[in-house]
Structure 1
């Protein structure tokens, strides 16, 4: 059930992932501006966070955006050809360990406002760059030719299920009567 709930079985290409993430981010910034009346800026971030934490709709929207981003990343990881259950669990574990180190040893945190270290920020940036720029995984893996009795040609790739289904329908096997 979690495969369908979090999008572990779905696939999403690079361009769709980029635009979906962009739209979610812009939508949340517009919602934050509407709820607080302030535009996020570097000098007033503490004030904005205090106003945002007092707004119930904004907190619900934040957790909703968190779930949406998790689902988008899971779909992109599946499209790359990796197992999202393992990759996303590892990513979350890395961020939790990074947060714990930054809390226990504040001198390793990026600044006094951050809850992460430089190592965690670099790992997060690297994984996000991989999600944006790694090519999609193919549907079929290339197979090595058999040495026994083979002429050295690559084996043919079987047609996709949709292609064979269309061929059956076009051949008159659909609906019981052939015209």
Structure 2
């Protein structure tokens, strides 16, 4: 249960806060890259920058910290929209992995010969990022949209649908009746 709060699955983050914090995290990492390598990532020589980054332990640690921070910010924003962050984030990661596999196996579907993603994957990622940035969240006094055990909307229910789902799985009720 503590991991839900640490990773932001039960916290909510509004549109403006999400945009601001994402901007601050990106600028912070850009300043770290520029401070260590002396080059900005948009300077055109990304091959040299990637070689420098692969040999720099502070940049690798910073990359993984930024990756974790953006994962948490996206999870909090998804919770504010009313979607289940556990399902959405797993689906998003699966989409990225499948997209990379398809682009590697069939290079003609990749965006360009240098990209490791397809056009469909790029459009889905764009749609998800636009939804996170512009989709209206629940109001401050209102609980986020939850679904009940029957899968239908239950606006007046308690916001413990994710906890109920985990409890059902843990007690052996996953996939139907047992015994």
Identify the residue that residue 165 of structure 2 maps to in structure 1: none
Cα separation, 2, equivalents of 1:97 and 1:34: 35
TM-score (norm 2): 0.75
**Residue 115 of structure 1: aligned partner:** 116
Per the alignment, residue 91 of structure 1 pairs with 92
Shift, 1:141, TM fit = 8.2
| Cα distance per residue 1:15-73 (max 9 Å; x no partner) | 00000000000000000001111112252111111111111110010011000000000
In 1, Cα distance between the equivalents of 2:72 and 2:115?
25
In the alignment, the residues of structure 1 paired with residue 119 and residue 84 of structure 2 have an alpha-carbon distance, to the nearest angstrom, of 26
- Segments of structure 2 that go 5 or more residues without pairing to the other structure are 146-155, 157-179
Identify the residue that residue 149 of structure 2 maps to in structure 1: none
User: Per the alignment, in what secondary structure is the counterpart of residue 41 of structure 1?
Assistant: helix
Give the ranges of 4+ consecutive aligned residues of structure 1 lying more than 3 Å apart after TM superposition: none
Is the counterpart of residue 128 in structure 1 residue 129 in structure 2?
yes
Q: CA, structure 1 residues 77+141, in 2 after alignment: closer, same or farther (shift >3 Å)? A: closer
Q: Matches of 2:45 and 2:103 in 1, distance apart? A: 23
Shift of 1:140: 5.0
Q: Which has the larger radius of gyration?
A: 1
Matched with 2:161 is: none
Question: What is aligned with 1:52?
Answer: 53
- Aligned residues of 2:80 and 2:144 also touching (Cα < 8 A): no
SS in 2 for 1:7: coil
Q: 1:105 Cα shift?
A: 1.1
Q: What TM-score do you get using the length of structure 1 for normalisation?
A: 0.75
Structure 1 unaligned residues grouped into runs of 5+: 143-156, 158-179
Indicate the residue corresponding to 1:34 in structure 2: 35
Q: 1:52 to 1:137 in 2, by over 3 A?
A: same
Structure 1: how far apart are the matches of 2:51 and 2:143?
A: 51
